[in-house]
A and B are shown apart, each in its own frame.
Chain A
């Protein structure tokens, strides 16, 4: 058993009548890691999160956070987890400081520490200037910051954030990303769901892709990319549009008729998938040049999390593949993994 694991789920299943919302989910997460939990609408993400925070009871299987059993050891879970749902939960007529004071008091933070704690958290989330504003007058982005502050008040060991970047402007997104990375640096583990996949790719070192209640892929970004990538995608940009037809004919001859070559005369581009190695690609480039095609660029299109997600969920036409990666294999430094979405 790895003592550094803060989250462990085993065969977690939730059935509503005849509908299986979650089917045998087994994942784990180490301390200080950020898990990106992605999937289409109705995939089972929120069900999983609600089981973890004790709002929903699992039909089968087990889940624990820092050794506390989810759904059984509710009192401990509440202290260990900071949960930020996708709705704010506003109370009218309250100022931000009063709103946070209420949650601080509800979590039993002693009065002598509470003000300091609220100020620290407001500072961390960049919401310090909002503390005298009325909660109902805040913009969506401001509410997200206040919600995150509220979640951090009782110093949870794990944060579960449902769509934290939703509705944020680009600047706020960057700031939110920095806050989450800082929290991970301080040793807090995070589970983050988001539909903005490039955003997730920038912060997550582990990704779980879930569809139809089943885990389709789980591991580091690299592991998932490798597992879903069957071929490289090459893009050829020509110096002028007149050569597109000729280039397409040369590529079809060299690659075979069964390879789908997409071409755009407007932008003088061609794209195709291939299994060739670097030497094979160099030879292919040579054939194009020999045929008189004026090539401006010849490059591999990097795969990002969005491509991986579409590939895994089967929406890109590529056969879905399960990534068998074990969580314990995740050893890469956080920021070292990021880059696919860049």
Chain B
């Protein structure tokens, strides 16, 4: 196990990216503390200012670690597989469990370095007074260390399943979003619902404790933007959940590496076209002909963009049968949303449900857009397919159009799935039509911008995994990063400055349209639409130029 740890740590720490990450992380935390550092020459005996600084520092550290801790482990095993070194490792006397633990400890080692780098900023918060050393500072670091271990283990598990580094990153971040944010949703939605019995609420609370946010909110003394009071046991509950998830991930990863991990043969199956007439007839009825996965695909039609068709066919979820399953899932989710919207509107009001659905849509766009668009060019370059595309007569505009369309289709499907919920809410309160339209316009422009920005920035990188990580960071910075400025709306920033910064945030814009407290005083539309349109045009131009540049002879 020791050689694996040494190798993982050495490989991670000596890369320029690791150094950049450490410096960036340190600068980010320092900036957060400076932003909220009291500028008046008065002593705050009550520790209010200190707790404000500690709160912003704690959330900053949490979000930083949520983004960083799974990044390296998520690509660790899949990279070994692609480079052919996994077979060498498995052929050595190192046992799979040692391999997994070695990689886990190596990955955590890097995150621990980042955590240690945050000590000066934490010490600055502590020095201001009003913060408990063990219950608050100690509690925060306990949650963060457990979170880092849990997400690293999750990243390793995903890395042992998928076949490409960018897919590993995408899937890992999706799981983390579900664990960190999705786990809180049932508790938030059900806590005020009359029909939910104590068992249902109990289950929702257990699921809620999988998220680190309630524990961190408790440690930071925050009653929560979600309106819930956190209990004393949040840290303990999260700790138990994190340890269990870590153990489960390590066990499953070890099992995967122990049981023929290199056996990746893919059976082509028997084509429906080659089956008997009776069998063909039955399958055509069963799969409605078009959705049969074993049907030979038709030729690409002249009106279809070949690149778009290629991208659709390459994606596991891009096939007709999978698209049908996705649409079905969205339909069920949509019905659940309608049910939830009509039920919850009685207790939380139509506006409250609007907020919940809009935030969920923003979350989906943040999750899906970089995943679909960031690797459009970089993955092509990485797989050496770009050289082949260059040798075809396809124009850069045609390539860019095809690739962008392939990202828009699934995103549009997701967006459409939420429409019935809006319609149900409007049936309850038709006066909200204007609000609903404004929200939809904002979200559609945001979705377009997120795809263009991810594709444009992603096209600048050679490796799809790096492109994906950078795209996620940028989209998260636009949506969530700007909210850190909002947190400093009383001091040191002026309301005008905060409004200007929030103009670039689609999340803040959506919340201001709905009239969420804290955002209702800002007028962000239509300025936000113009900013996002400008970002879209800029990103599109970057992508087009990069494709044209890559297509030229060097």
Which residues of A pack against B, CB within 8 Å? 51, 53-57, 71, 74-75, 78-79, 81, 83, 85, 87-95, 97-98, 101-108, 110-111, 114-115, 132-134, 136-137, 150
For residue A3, give the distance in angstroms from its CB to the closest CB of chain B: 26
B349: chain A residues at CB < 8 Å are none
The answer to the question of B297 belonging to the interface, with a C-beta cut-off of 8 Å to chain A, is yes
B389: chain A residues at CB < 8 Å are 106
Instruction: Please pick, from A93, A103, A111, the residue contacting B316 in the complex, using a CB distance under 8 A.
Output: A93
A53: chain B residues at CB < 8 Å are 391
Check B553 against A102 for contact (C-beta < 8 Å): no
- Most A Cβ at <10 Å: residue of B296, B300, B315, B391: B391
Check B392 against A107 for contact (C-beta < 8 Å): yes
Given the interface pairs A101-B297, A137-B266, the reply to whether A78 lies near B392 with Cβ below 8 Å is yes
The answer to the question of B301 belonging to the interface, with a C-beta cut-off of 8 Å to chain A, is yes
Check B314 against A132 for contact (C-beta < 8 Å): no
Nearest A residue to B310 by beta-carbon distance? A102
A150: chain B residues at CB < 8 Å are 388
Q: Which of B147-155, B339-347, B379-387 contacts A (4 or more CB under 8 A)?
A: B379-387
For residue A80, give the distance in angstroms from its CB to the closest CB of chain B: 11
Distance between Cα atoms of A108 and B300 in the complex (Å): 11
* Contacts beyond the supplied A56-B553, A83-B391, A103-B388: 7 A-B pairs with Cβ under 8 Å: A55-B554, A85-B388, A91-B314, A101-B300, A102-B300, A104-B299, A136-B163
- Most B Cβ at <10 Å: residue of A57, A78, A92: A92
A87: chain B residues at CB < 8 Å are 384, 387
B163: chain A residues at CB < 8 Å are 92, 136
Check A88 against B384 for contact (C-beta < 8 Å): yes
For residue A277, give the distance in angstroms from its CB to the closest CB of chain B: 53
Nearest A residue to B304 by beta-carbon distance? A105
Check B387 against A55 for contact (C-beta < 8 Å): yes
Distance between Cα atoms of A132 and B269 in the complex (Å): 9
Check B313 against A93 for contact (C-beta < 8 Å): yes
Distance between Cα atoms of A71 and B554 in the complex (Å): 10
Distance between Cα atoms of A83 and B391 in the complex (Å): 8
The answer to the question of B394 belonging to the interface, with a C-beta cut-off of 8 Å to chain A, is yes
Given the interface pairs A97-B297, A101-B297, A107-B392, the reply to whether A89 lies near B314 with Cβ below 8 Å is no
Check B554 against A57 for contact (C-beta < 8 Å): yes
- Could you pull out 11 A-B pairs where Cβ atoms are within 8 angstroms? A55-B387, A78-B392, A90-B385, A91-B314, A92-B314, A93-B316, A93-B319, A95-B297, A98-B297, A101-B300, A103-B392
Distance between Cα atoms of A282 and B489 in the complex (Å): 105
Instruction: Please pick, from B316, B383, B553, the residue contacting A71 in the complex, using a CB distance under 8 A.
Output: B553
Given the interface pairs A89-B383, A95-B297, A134-B268, the reply to whether A105 lies near B309 with Cβ below 8 Å is yes
Distance between Cα atoms of A114 and B300 in the complex (Å): 10
Distance between Cα atoms of A71 and B304 in the complex (Å): 29
Check A89 against B553 for contact (C-beta < 8 Å): no
Instruction: Please pick, from B383, B394, B554, the residue contacting A106 in the complex, using a CB distance under 8 A.
Output: B394
A93: chain B residues at CB < 8 Å are 313-316, 318-319
The answer to the question of B390 belonging to the interface, with a C-beta cut-off of 8 Å to chain A, is yes
Instruction: Please pick, from B265, B302, B384, B394, the residue contacting A89 in the complex, using a CB distance under 8 A.
Output: B384
For residue A99, give the distance in angstroms from its CB to the closest CB of chain B: 8
Interface string of B291-331 (1 = CB under 8 A from A): 00000110111101011011001111011000000000000
The answer to the question of B393 belonging to the interface, with a C-beta cut-off of 8 Å to chain A, is yes
B553: chain A residues at CB < 8 Å are 51, 54-57, 71, 74
Distance between Cα atoms of A266 and B319 in the complex (Å): 66
Nearest A residue to B164 by beta-carbon distance? A92
For residue A155, give the distance in angstroms from its CB to the closest CB of chain B: 14
Interface string of B87-125 (1 = CB under 8 A from A): 000000000000000000000000000000000000000
Distance between Cα atoms of A36 and B457 in the complex (Å): 42
The answer to the question of B271 belonging to the interface, with a C-beta cut-off of 8 Å to chain A, is yes
Check B385 against A95 for contact (C-beta < 8 Å): no
Nearest A residue to B387 by beta-carbon distance? A85
For residue B543, give the distance in angstroms from its CB to the closest CB of chain A: 19
Distance between Cα atoms of A133 and B296 in the complex (Å): 11
Nearest B residue to A103 by beta-carbon distance? B392
For residue B403, give the distance in angstroms from its CB to the closest CB of chain A: 13
Distance between Cα atoms of A97 and B388 in the complex (Å): 17
- Most B Cβ at <10 Å: residue of A85, A104, A132: A132
For residue B164, give the distance in angstroms from its CB to the closest CB of chain A: 8
B384: chain A residues at CB < 8 Å are 85, 87-89
B301: chain A residues at CB < 8 Å are 111
Instruction: Please pick, from A79, A91, A98, A137, the residue contacting B385 in the complex, using a CB distance under 8 A.
Output: A91
Given the interface pairs A92-B163, A114-B299, the reply to whether A55 lies near B390 with Cβ below 8 Å is yes
Check B385 against A101 for contact (C-beta < 8 Å): no
Distance between Cα atoms of A75 and B393 in the complex (Å): 6
Check A94 against B271 for contact (C-beta < 8 Å): no
A102: chain B residues at CB < 8 Å are 300, 306, 309-310, 313
Check A115 against B394 for contact (C-beta < 8 Å): no
For residue A25, give the distance in angstroms from its CB to the closest CB of chain B: 16
Interchain residue pairs A-B with the least CB separation, the first 5: A106-B392, A105-B306, A105-B300, A57-B553, A137-B266
Nearest B residue to A54 by beta-carbon distance? B553
Nearest B residue to A70 by beta-carbon distance? B553
Check B296 against A132 for contact (C-beta < 8 Å): yes
Given the interface pairs A102-B306, A102-B309, A133-B268, the reply to whether A90 lies near B390 with Cβ below 8 Å is no
B window 383-423: CB within 8 A of A? 383-385, 387-394
Nearest B residue to A112 by beta-carbon distance? B299
Check A111 against B302 for contact (C-beta < 8 Å): yes
B window 508-554: CB within 8 A of A? 553-554
For residue A217, give the distance in angstroms from its CB to the closest CB of chain B: 28
Distance between Cα atoms of A85 and B390 in the complex (Å): 12
For residue B103, give the distance in angstroms from its CB to the closest CB of chain A: 24
For residue A150, give the distance in angstroms from its CB to the closest CB of chain B: 8
A54: chain B residues at CB < 8 Å are 553
Given the interface pairs A78-B393, A79-B393, A132-B296, the reply to whether A106 lies near B313 with Cβ below 8 Å is no
Distance between Cα atoms of A115 and B313 in the complex (Å): 18
For residue B450, give the distance in angstroms from its CB to the closest CB of chain A: 24
Distance between Cα atoms of A75 and B266 in the complex (Å): 37
B392: chain A residues at CB < 8 Å are 78, 103, 106-107
Nearest A residue to B309 by beta-carbon distance? A102
A107: chain B residues at CB < 8 Å are 392-393
Instruction: Please pick, from A88, A108, A110, the residue contacting B393 in the complex, using a CB distance under 8 A.
Output: A108
Distance between Cα atoms of A89 and B314 in the complex (Å): 13
B window 9-32: CB within 8 A of A? none
Check B393 against A101 for contact (C-beta < 8 Å): no
B309: chain A residues at CB < 8 Å are 102, 105
